[in-house]
């Protein structure tokens, strides 16, 4: 085993003083969110901040290319499938970890076998549980065994599986109850940036890895330092953007983003994400309100909602209306399904046919972006469907949804930024507690798609399932989400649609 070292603008401009360390002059890209980062390990913290920093500090075997839709070689240089349940990888030579030790097959084998062992209690088991084991075939060659056919393997290898040094977790501190505190291990990766300073709940400072290998898909880092800061108040974040204390922020509310753009002091971009909005119906009457057991009533709801107006006027110009229970950018997500255009007159006619000429009153549940749900409620009221809004925290609402107690729930899903139908449709329509219909036809079709590595077989199977879901209207897919990014005029940065900002690719103008 190798040894390792363990008008808003005026208000905003007047609300904070200029911080000492900022931007291009100090070769430091400062970014912030409202989240505190206490654990610097992409396996033991599942926040979006750690996803972003995970790609800064660590590398996986492959990296997803959003422009081509393919997977580029990263720590692996090539690979071959051996049947449906094994992949052999040739590894990149000459790579070193941040502690100076050399990368090879031992590190890949250690990482995968650590993740695959449930006894190590990696929090997101769904992310790692598809891997059975890894074996070393040579100093730069490994074999990855899968528990069963898993065509989404490369999406997870790209987004979620970061390679750690062999033995990294072996010397973790042992708590009084005998468990190892694996989350407290010093961060060590091969990525383009390395951690140089941390203050829990305040900041994480990363420095450029001058030893980062050349010729890989991440390029070589140009900005000297990247500093993450926790700033709880959104107005304070935006004020620091205006005064130069921050160089980058995202998820800026639309109204504030437009005002920032008008100021000319920062760049503002609206970029699509892999998150979608959807409305799920109680199709079996388990909630006690049986209106939506009738497909005609579900269709009336679909025709009553002006999804296009919500997408463009409330979400942002990068948002688009969707018709399938998936994101259009995901593999296998055909939009060639039954579609329900905005047509209030047709909605009223369907209600009358279903026996509700005067409409009815029901409970609608939501948790995110209340203004979007309130716009839905307004559209429904116009055709006589009167919604009582129940606004909850996500975890509370999820429990009610899984218990079948919500007549309609307005929810979202981000697919863990996995560009594949299996990360969304297969999650919701294969008979689990998240499945509103439990239709054996969708479960069977999705199973065919999920257990084949033949792209054409998968596309055909997913199209069948998506067609059933749309025809029956188990879900009303709504629109894709979009985020507003705001960043310094000095910064050359390009947002991506997978919600994994490539800060390691940023450079100064």
List Cα–Cα distances, 468 to 297, 384, 439, in angstroms. 17, 28, 9
Average pLDDT over residues 423-443: 96
What SS3 string covers 158-196?
Answer: HHCCCCCCCCCCCCCCECCCCCECHHHCCCCCCCCEEEE
pLDDT, tens digit (0-9, with 9 covering 90-100), for 228-253? 999 999 899 999 999 999 999 999 98
Query: For 50-71, what is the mean pLDDT?
Result: 94
- For the segment 18-43, the average pLDDT, to the nearest whole number, is 83
Tell me the per-residue pLDDT of 63-95, one tens digit each, with 9 for 90 and over: 999 888 899 999 999 999 999 899 999 999 999
Let me know: does 301 contact 279? Beta carbons within 8 Å. Answer: yes
Instruction: Show the CA angle centred on residue 371, arms to residues 366 and 375, nearest 5°.
Output: 90
- State how far the alpha carbon of 32 is from the alpha carbons of 2, 43, 204, 229, 248, in Å: 36, 21, 10, 5, 7
pLDDT at 22: 61
User: What is the C-alpha to C-alpha distance for residues 226 and 21, in angstroms, rounded to an integer?
Assistant: 11
Listed range (45-49, 200-204, 271-275, 482-486) with the worst mean pLDDT: 45-49
CB 253 within 8 A of CB 316: no
**Distance (Å, whole) CA 261 – CA 254:** 10
pLDDT at 18 over 60: no
Average pLDDT, the chain: 92
**Quick check: 226 and 55 in contact, CB under 8 A?**
no
Which two tokens mark 101?
């030790």
In which region does residue 188 sit, left (phi positive, over 0), alpha (psi from -120 to 50) or beta (all else)? beta
Residues 6+ apart with CB under 8 A from 180: 169, 172, 173, 174
Asked whether the predicted pLDDT for residue 16 surpasses 70, the reply is: no
Helix (H, G, I), strand (E, B) or coil at 29: strand
Q: Is the pLDDT of residue 410 over 60?
A: yes
Q: What pLDDT does 177 receive?
A: 76
What sign does the dihedral 232-265-204-218 (CA atoms) show?
positive
Q: How many CB atoms lie within 10 A of CB 454?
A: 12
Residue 188's pLDDT is what? Answer: 96
pLDDT of residue 11: 33
Per-residue pLDDT band at 201 (split at 50, 70, 90): confident
* Token pair 């999920």: residue: 450
* pLDDT higher than threshold 90 for residue 48: no
φ/ψ of 328, rounded to 5, equals: -55, -25
As a whole-number percent, the residues of the chain with pLDDT over 70 amount to: 96
Q: What is the pLDDT of residue 47?
A: 83
Q: Which of 173, 153, 161, 95 is nearest to 124 (CA)?
A: 161
End-to-end Cα separation, the chain, in angstroms: 44
User: Considering only CA atoms, which of 226, 223, 189 is closest in space to residue 206?
Assistant: 226
Q: Given this model, what pLDDT does residue 20 score? A: 41
* Cα–Cα dist 49/21, whole Å: 21
Residue 203 near residue 230 (C-beta atoms within 8 A):
yes
What pLDDT, on the 0 to 100 scale, is given for residue 72?
Answer: 97
- Does residue 1 carry a pLDDT above 50? no
Convert the pLDDT of each residue in 470-494 to its tens digit. Answer: 999 999 999 999 999 999 999 999 9
Rounded-to-10 torsion of CA 501, 49, 498, 58: 70
Q: What is the pLDDT of residues 300-337, one digit of tens each?
A: 999 999 999 999 999 999 999 999 999 999 999 999 99
Q: Is the pLDDT assigned to residue 4 strictly greater than 50? A: no
| pLDDT of 8 over the 50 cut | no
Between 183 and 149, the higher pLDDT residue: 149
Confidence of residue 3 (pLDDT cuts 50, 70, 90): very low
What's the pLDDT at 211? 96
Assess whether pLDDT exceeds 90 at residue 10.
no
pLDDT at 124: 75
In this model, does residue 184 exceed pLDDT 70? yes
Query: What is the CA angle 124-80-167, rounded to 5?
Result: 45
480/278 Cα distance (integer angstroms): 9
Task: Examine the pLDDT at 101 and tell me if it is beyond 50.
Answer: yes
């Amino acid at each position: 085993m190798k040894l390792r070292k363990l008008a808003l603008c005026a208000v905003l401009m007047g609300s904070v003083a200029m911080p000492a360390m900022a931007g291009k002059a100090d070769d430091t890209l400062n970014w912030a969110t409202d989240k505190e980062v206490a654990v610097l390990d992409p396996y033991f913290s599942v926040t979006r901040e750690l996803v972003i920093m995970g790609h800064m500090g660590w590398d996986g075997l492959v990296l997803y290319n959003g422009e081509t839709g393919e997977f580029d070689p990263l720590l692996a240089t090539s690979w071959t499938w051996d049947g449906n349940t094994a992949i052999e990888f040739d590894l990149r030579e000459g790579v070193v970890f941040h502690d100076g030790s050399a990368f090879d097959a031992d590190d890949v084998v250690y990482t995968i076998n650590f993740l695959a062992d449930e006894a190590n209690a990696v929090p997101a088991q769904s992310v790692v549980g598809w891997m059975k084991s890894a074996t070393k075939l040579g100093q730069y060659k490994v074999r990855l065994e899968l528990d069963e056919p898993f065509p989404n393997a490369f999406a997870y290898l790209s987004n979620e599986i970061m390679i750690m040094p062999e033995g990294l977790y072996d010397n973790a501190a042992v708590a009084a109850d005998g468990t190892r505190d694996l989350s407290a291990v010093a961060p060590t990766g091969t990525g383009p940036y390395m951690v140089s300073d941390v203050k829990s709940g305040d900041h994480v400072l990363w420095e450029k890895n001058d030893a980062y290998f050349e010729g890989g898909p991440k390029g070589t880092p140009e900005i000297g330092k990247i500093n993450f800061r926790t700033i709880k108040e959104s107005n304070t974040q935006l004020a620091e953007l205006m005064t130069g204390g921050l160089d980058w922020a995202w998820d800026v509310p639309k109204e504030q983003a437009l005002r920032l753009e008008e100021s000319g002091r920062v760049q503002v971009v609206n970029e699509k994400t892999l998150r979608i909005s959807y409305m799920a119906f109680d199709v079996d009457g388990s909630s006690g309100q049986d209106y939506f057991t009738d497909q005609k009533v579900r269709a009336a709801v679909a025709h009553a909602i002006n999804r296009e107006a919500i997408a463009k006027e409330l979400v942002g110009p990068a948002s688009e209306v969707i018709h399938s229970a998936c994101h259009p950018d995901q593999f296998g997500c055909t939009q060639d399904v039954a579609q329900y255009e905005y047509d209030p007159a047709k909605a009223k006619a369907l209600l009358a046919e279903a026996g509700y000429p005067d409409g009815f009153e029901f409970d609608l549940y939501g948790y995110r972006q209340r203004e979007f749900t309130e716009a839905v409620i307004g559209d429904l009221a116009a055709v006589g469907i009167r919604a009582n809004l129940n606004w909850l925290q996500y975890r509370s609402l999820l429990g009610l949804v899984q218990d079948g107690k919500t007549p309609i729930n307005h929810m979202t899903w981000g697919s863990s930024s996995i560009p594949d139908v299996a990360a969304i449709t297969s999650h919701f329509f294969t008979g689990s507690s998240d499945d509103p219909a439990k239709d054996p036809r969708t479960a069977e079709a999705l199973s065919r798609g999920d257990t084949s590595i033949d792209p054409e077989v998968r596309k055909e199977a997913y199209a069948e399932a998506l067609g059933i879901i749309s025809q029956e209207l188990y879900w009303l897919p709504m629109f894709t989400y979009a985020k507003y990014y705001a960043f310094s005029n000095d910064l050359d940065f390009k947002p991506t649609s997978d919600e994994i900002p490539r800060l390691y690719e940023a450079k100064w103008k």
